[in-house]
Amino acid sequence: MAWQQISINVPHEFVEPISYVFERYGHGVGIQSLGPDTAAITTFLPTESQSRMARIEIGVNLAKSIAPLGDLNITLLDSDTDWRNAWKQHFSVLKITDSIIIKPSWLDYEPKSSDIVIELDPGFAFGTGYHPTTHSCLILLEKYLTEHSSVLDFGTGSGILSIAAAKLASSQISAIDIDPMCIKSAKKNSSRCGTTELINFYTGTLPHKNIHNSEYDYVVANISARIGIEKSSEMLDALKSGGILILSGIINNQAIETKKHFQTKSQIVEEYWKEDWVTFVIKKFNE
Are the beta carbons of 217 and 243 closer than 8 angstroms?
yes
Domains, the chain: 3-90 (3.30.70.260), 94-284 (3.40.50.150)
Query: pLDDT at position 127, please?
Result: 59
Query: pLDDT at position 90, please?
Result: 65
The pLDDT averaged over each successive group of 10 residues in the chain (287 residues) is 89 81 83 75 89 95 89 85 68 89 90 93 58 91 96 94 95 93 90 96 97 97 93 98 96 92 96 92 92
Diameter of the chain measured on Cα atoms: 66
| Alpha-carbon dihedral angle through residues 190, 191, 197, 201, given to the nearest 10 degrees | 50
Q: How many helices (H) and strands (E) does the chain have?
A: 9, 14
Query: pLDDT at position 125, please?
Result: 43
b/e for 202-223, b at 16 or more Cβ within 10 A?
beebbebeebeeebbbbbbbbb
Antiparallel, parallel or unpaired: β 239-251 and 277-284: antiparallel
pTM, rounded to two decimals: 0.79
